[in-house]
Homo-oligomer: A and B are copies of this chain.
Amino acid sequence: MFTETATRPDTTQIIPPRSGAAFTLNAGQTLTVIDPEGGQVADLLAIARADTREMLSSGRTLDYAETIYLSTAHKLYSNRSNVLLEIIEDTVGRHDFLLTPCSEATFRLCYDNEPPHRGCHGNLHAALAPWGIAEDAIPVAFNCFMNVPVDGATGRFKVLPPLSKAGDFIRFRAATDLIIALTACSAPASNGGSFKPIHYRVEG
C-alpha cells in the first residue's frame, strides 16, 4: 500500500478520479506527482504566473530534448523557450507529450459507447478558472505516466496502460513562479480501463 498520506498527512493532496486541481508552485519548489494505485495518467499544465500567456510547449520542449520520451534531467520549456519545470526524479520513465488532454470531443469522436465527459481538457479549464485561462489556450499537456509507444517505421502509435505501479512518482522543480493544473485522467484507454485518483505534493 501507498503510505505517503500516513507519513506526510499535511502535504499530500488528493485528486479524485476523473477530476482536476490547480495551484501555485513557486520558483525552486518541487512538485511530486504520485500514482497511488498504479496505472493512472495525470495531465499536467504549467503556466507562468508573471504572464499567463506563457505556458508549457510540447513542440519547443521536444525540439530541444531531441526525444519524444522525457525523464529525469529533461527540462520542460514554454512557448517563449524559457524553462518552466525540470524533471528531477522519475520512477517510471514513460510519459507522453504528443497528445492533447482528452475532452468532450475526444469522447464523442473516439469513444462512441461512452457517455460524454468533459475530460481532462474540461477539468483543466475549470481548475484554471481563477486565473482566467481561456479554454482555447490550453495546449498539449505533459501527460505523466501516459504510455504511448510509437512505431518508428510507420509512425503509428498505441495508447497502452501506464507502466506505473502503486506509489510510482515523477518529481519536478519549478524554474519560475508557476500555476500548475493537474488531473486524474478521464480517458478509458489511457488508464487501462479504470479511473483512479492521483496524489501530489508541493515541497520546498
A residues neighboring B (CB under 8 Å): 53-54, 57-60, 62-64, 66-69, 79-81, 98-100, 103, 105-106, 108-110, 134, 136-140, 149-158
Q: Quick check: B109 and A68 within 8 Å, CB to CB?
A: no
Bound complex: CA A108 to CA B82 (Å): 12
Q: For residue A102, which residue of chain B has the nearest CB?
A: B63
Cβ-defined contact, B151 with A80, below 8 A: no
Assembled-state Cα–Cα distance A21/B152 (Å): 33
Q: Is the CB of A68 within 8 A of B98?
A: yes
A-B contact pairs, 25 of them (CB 8 A): A53-B134, A54-B136, A57-B100, A58-B98, A59-B140, A63-B100, A63-B110, A66-B156, A67-B155, A67-B156, A67-B157, A68-B98, A68-B155, A69-B154, A79-B100, A80-B136, A81-B106, A81-B109, A98-B98, A137-B137, A140-B140, A149-B152, A150-B150, A152-B152, A152-B153
Assuming A53-B136, A63-B106, A81-B105, is B100 touching A68 (CB within 8 A)? Answer: no
Partner of A157, one of B68, B110, B156: B68
C-alpha gap A110/B68 in the complex (Å) = 17
B152 contacts A98, CB within 8 Å?
no
Are B109 and A64 touching (Cβ within 8 A)? Answer: yes
Residue of B nearest to A187 (CB): B63
The answer for the CA separation of A138 and B149 in the assembled complex, in Å, is 27
Q: Are B98 and A67 in contact (CB under 8 A)?
A: no
* 8 smallest beta-carbon distances between A and B, as pairs: A69-B155, A59-B100, A81-B105, A152-B152, A59-B140, A53-B136, A67-B155, A68-B155
Contact check: which of B64, B69, B138, B154 meets A67 at CB < 8 Å? B154
CA distance A137 to B58 in the complex (A): 13
- Nearest CB of chain B from residue A102's CB, rounded to whole Å: 8
Tell me, rounded to whole Å, the shortest Cβ–Cβ distance linking A139 to chain B: 7
Distance in angstroms between the alpha carbons of A80 and B109 in the assembled complex: 12
Give every chain B residue within 8 A of A157 (Cβ-Cβ): 62, 66-68
